[in-house]
Amino acid sequence: MDEDDDDYEPDFFGAEDTEQILNKLDNAPPELPEEPKVPVADVGLKHFNLPPPPPLTPEEAAQIGQGTITRVFGVMQTLDEPAKKIKSGMNRLAASAYDRDAWITILTRLATRASAGLEEPAGPVKVESDAEARSLSNTIRESLYLYILEDFRKRIDIAVAWLCEEWYNDKVQMKLGEEAVLHYEKWVLKLLDGIVPYLDAKDKVLTRFLSEIPGLSQDVLTRVKGLCRDPAMVNLALTSLLYLVMMRPPVREITLDAVEDIWNTCGSSLPSRATPYTNRHR
């Protein structure tokens, strides 16, 4: 036998009696009630959608739009006019330079195209009503009108760009359907009425305005004829009309009619060198 087996001495413990077992149970700490099992919430990320904003009333929407337009025109006031314009030809993108011209392009197209086709005319073709004048597009138009009149000699290019957009939008809407709300004629006359009282006899801005706007009507020429009531403005009016006769053949006939009307109405008060341009075949 191995030596390890000789050293083994088992311990003998006497079995506990009933009294000892009861004493141990009395001295044991009380058992706590078992806690109910609470389900653990899933903390994993799930798809979450923000609740939609409350709908705006028309008055709130108009107020917010007006505030946005005011801020945009405030930015335009701080922008310096570019010293040199870079023309990229057919590769040019509108409103890509983030300068004053870019903001003008954005505003004019918001005014003319944003609500195009959404207006509700009462007749086949009509000028905007008072209710439509409260729209955001017309708010932009009013702001553009005031911005141009602040310094119309330097901002006449903005006026021409805006009116070209109005004319284009009117033509598109008239082709799309019989019902259309026209804006071009109204704003041409309004701009002309705002500019004419402040013209000087040596101003060339009138000639440029009449030669670059896309459409001329009898009402526009009537405003020009009204300048002939002032002897100091006769040469300016006749020079502008003569330029239209020479450089804009589509309006030559109605311009010659205006010149003839000036001669018949104000001929006695015209300067001796102001002669009618009556030969329509030259």
Q: For residue 281, name the pLDDT band (cuts at 50, 70, 90).
A: very low
What lies within 8 Å, CB to CB, of 187 at 6+ separation is 141, 145, 162, 163, 166
The C-alpha atoms of residue 5 and residue 61 are separated, in whole angstroms, by: 100
E strand or H helix at 7: helix 3-7
Q: For residue 5, name the pLDDT band (cuts at 50, 70, 90).
A: low
Q: Which residue, of 183, 215, 244, is where some domain finishes?
A: 183
Domain extent at residue 65: 59-76+95-183
Does residue 211 share a domain with residue 99? no
Q: Which residue, of 125, 148, 183, is where some domain finishes?
A: 183
Does residue 149 share a domain with residue 67? yes
How far lies 194's CA from each of 108, 197, 202, 211, in Å? 19, 7, 18, 18
Average pLDDT of span 114-137: 56
The C-alpha atoms of residue 172 and residue 117 are separated, in whole angstroms, by: 10
pLDDT at 113 over 80: yes
List beta partners, residue 126.
181
Q: For residue 71, name the pLDDT band (cuts at 50, 70, 90).
A: confident
What lies within 8 Å, CB to CB, of 114 at 6+ separation is 136, 137
Task: Supply the Cα-derived Rg of the chain in whole angstroms.
Answer: 42
Does residue 282 share a domain with residue 214? yes
pLDDT one-digit tens code per residue, 19-40: 777 777 777 677 667 777 767 6
Give residue 120's identity as a one-letter amino acid code.
E
Indicate the angle between helix axes 184-195 and 156-176, nearest 10 degrees: 160
What lies within 8 Å, CB to CB, of 166 at 6+ separation is 112, 183, 184, 187
Give the pLDDT of residue 93: 54
Does residue 268 share a domain with residue 216? yes
Round the average pLDDT of the chain to a whole number and report it: 78
What percentage of the chain carries pLDDT values higher than 70? Answer: 70
**C-beta separation of 159 from 148 below 8 A:** yes
Q: Which residue, of 129, 159, 183, is where some domain finishes?
A: 183
Average pLDDT of span 48-73: 85
How far lies 1's CA from each of 5, 7, 80, 187, 230, in Å? 7, 11, 112, 125, 146
Q: For residue 41, name the pLDDT band (cuts at 50, 70, 90).
A: low
Q: For residue 99, name the pLDDT band (cuts at 50, 70, 90).
A: confident
Give the pLDDT of residue 133: 46
pLDDT one-digit tens code per residue, 221-244: 999 999 988 888 999 999 999 999
Does residue 172 share a domain with residue 136? yes
Q: Where are the alpha helices (DSSP H) in 196-233?
A: 205-212, 218-226
Q: How many domains does the chain have?
A: 2
